[in-house]
Structures are given as structure tokens and as C-alpha cells.
Amino acid sequence: MNSQYHKNTIAENGFTVINRIFSDNEIQRISEVIRNTDSSKETFRKSEDLFAIRQFLKEIPGLRDLIFNEKMKTVIRERFGDRYFVVKSIYFDKPETSNWYVAYHQDLTISVDQKKPMEGFGPWTARQSRFAVQPPLDILENIYTIRIHLDDTDENNGALKVVPGSHAKGIYRPETIDWSKETEEICPVEKGGIMIMKPLILHASNRTTNGNRRRVIHIEFSERELPAGLNWAEKMVIEN
């Protein structure tokens, strides 16, 4: 893993892909733990097109050591630094016949422990005692996302499409994309690989067309503490 290459690529393009972070055996063990978890909780979302688990690492704490193996901890330390901690985690399972697609967007909200109006934060949303808010731009710019792929993923089963460099343009409304100036890139990732991205990069995904499943663990990291009285909903320090 060429850490400087990936750091430069993330800074310039807003994303990078690193394959072979997890072995087939590690992916199998992670998959088994997820499969054997009680899915009746309110943080589990089930439909014909999508299965999702919010606050994933809180709901299945037994996965932490499997997910943060030595390769992952090295990636985090070398690409982000020693001060980064988990602030959000979600699991997505896009079934083989899924018609679920996601239009171009930026990830503009963070998960927090309460609603506390303060300058620069808003709009707010609340659902089932979970709170999300759009924070000031500098907080969003500090976040990195790692997407762990439990299946081979390409353009036929929902690999992300991105607009390279769009993470550096602040709040970028998708309806204003000028395709005469911007380009679209599809980001295939092998089973056991990861995609690192900045949440401000414009990204989207298509419906599944090849009958292949797509399972992804989405984890966000920051090194920033929030203003007094407001805390990350899922803060988790990674043990060295």
C-alpha cells in the first residue's frame, strides 16, 4: 500500500480504492456475525431493495476487532493520522434483484446525541431518538469515509459513481453540475477491498443489473470534537 499515493489521490480527487485489506476468511467471519444478529431492532431497515443497519458498530460490537484488523488500523493511521475516531457506521445490503438506486448527492449530515440549536448547525432531523444535522463546512471537510466491500462491486451491481474533485467545491448542489466541465468515474472495488472518500464528493449508485449482491460497511471518521453540549452519537476510539 503506497500511503503517500493514496493520500495525494484523496486530496486531489476526493477518493481512492485499496484492495485486499480483508482476506476471504475475514469477510466470511464478518458476514456470519451479521447474518446471526437479531434484526428486529429499530435501527434495522428491511425492504425488498435494501437491508440496512444504522449505528452498526454499536449494534454489533463483536465485529469491532474483525473490522479494525492491522491493515485497517494502518490505513487509518497513515492516511488520516493518529487522532481520528469513528463517528458514524452503517451497513448496507443491496440484494441481487435490487432496484434501489441513489441519485448524485453529497453526505452533508452528521449523527449527534441530541438536538441543541446552535449557530452554524442546521437543518436538523430526528427519527426514533436519533438526531442528524448539517454542521459547518469545516467539520464536513474534516471527515473521511471508509467503505468496506463484502462483495465484488462494479457498475452492474451498484459501485459508486463519483465526480472527481467535487469534494473541494464546498456545498455543490447536484442540479447545478455542469457536465461539460465535470467528469463521472465509476469506482469498482474487489471483495475485501475498501474505498476511502470525502463525504463532500458528489456520488451516486445505479440499480443492480447483473444479479449480484452488494454489501458494504460504511464508516465515517473525524478528529474534531463538537461544540460544548453536542456530542457525536457514535463516537468510538480505535484501539491501537
Residue of 165, 8, 167 lying closest to 78 (CA atoms): 8
Do 130 and 106 meet the contact criterion of CB atoms below 8 Å apart?
Answer: no
| Dist. CA 236–CA 168, nearest whole Å | 27
| Dist. CA 159–CA 188, nearest whole Å | 6
**Secondary structure (DSSP) of 77-123:** HHHT-TT-EEEEEEEEEE-TT----EEEE----EEESS----TT---
Neighbours of 174 (CB within 10 A): 14
Q: Which three cell numbers stand for residue 237?
A: 476510539
Rounded to 5°, angle at Cα 155 from 154 and 158: 85
Interval 147-174: pLDDT, tens: 999 999 999 999 999 999 999 999 999 9
Residue of 104, 108, 103, 102 lying closest to 171 (CA atoms): 108
Total length of the chain: 240
Rounded to 5°, angle at Cα 223 from 104 and 136: 50
Which residue is it, cell 425488498? 48
Domain boundaries, the chain: 3-222
| Dist. CA 109–CA 140, nearest whole Å | 8
Do 193 and 17 meet the contact criterion of CB atoms below 8 Å apart?
Answer: yes
| Dist. CA 10–CA 142, nearest whole Å | 12
The fold of the 3-222 domain, in CATH, is: Jelly Rolls (2.60.120)
pLDDT at residue 46, rounded to an integer: 80
Rounded to 5°, angle at Cα 149 from 146 and 152: 145
Per-position pLDDT tens, the chain of length 240: 688 999 999 999 999 999 999 999 999 999 999 999 988 877 788 877 788 999 999 999 999 999 999 999 999 999 999 999 999 999 999 888 888 899 999 999 999 999 999 999 999 999 877 899 999 999 999 999 999 999 999 999 999 999 999 999 999 999 999 999 999 999 999 999 999 999 999 999 999 899 899 999 999 999 999 998 899 999 999 987
Contacts of 205 (CB under 8 A, 6+ apart): 101, 102, 158, 159, 160, 161
